[in-house]
């Protein structure tokens, strides 16, 4: 299940995917088919699983992964889809 808009045949604007239980599975913005800005995936309990940032459909900035208790377990930094730094 998902919600979102199409413009010129491409995903555009805010999109949200849902688990069968109705909680968010994934959400993010599209600009004419390209991922933009903050994207999140979720566990079925509603806590954030991953949070990443995109510019023109490429990872740019921090990409963080959390456990089901919402504790940060890894963080990496990307520039134009290439890993720059992983602590």
How many residues comprise the chain?
87
Residue 87 scores a pLDDT above 90: no
| Percent of the residues in the chain that have a pLDDT greater than 70, as a whole number | 99
Is the CB of residue 6 less than 8 Å from the CB of residue 30? no
What are the tens digits of pLDDT across the range 19-56?
999 999 999 999 999 999 999 999 999 999 999 999 99
Residue with tokens 């995936």: 41
DSSP state of 24: E
pLDDT at res. 85:
78
pTM of the model: 0.91
């Amino acid at each position: 299940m998902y919600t979102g808009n199409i413009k010129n045949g491409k995903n555009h604007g805010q999109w949200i995917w849902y688990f069968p239980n109705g909680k968010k599975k994934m959400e993010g913005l599209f600009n004419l088919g390209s991922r933009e800005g903050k994207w999140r995936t979720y566990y079925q309990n509603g806590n954030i699983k991953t949070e990443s940032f995109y510019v023109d459909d490429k990872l740019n900035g921090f990409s963080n992964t959390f456990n089901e208790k919402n504790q940060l377990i890894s963080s990496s930094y990307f520039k134009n889809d290439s890993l720059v730094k992983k602590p």
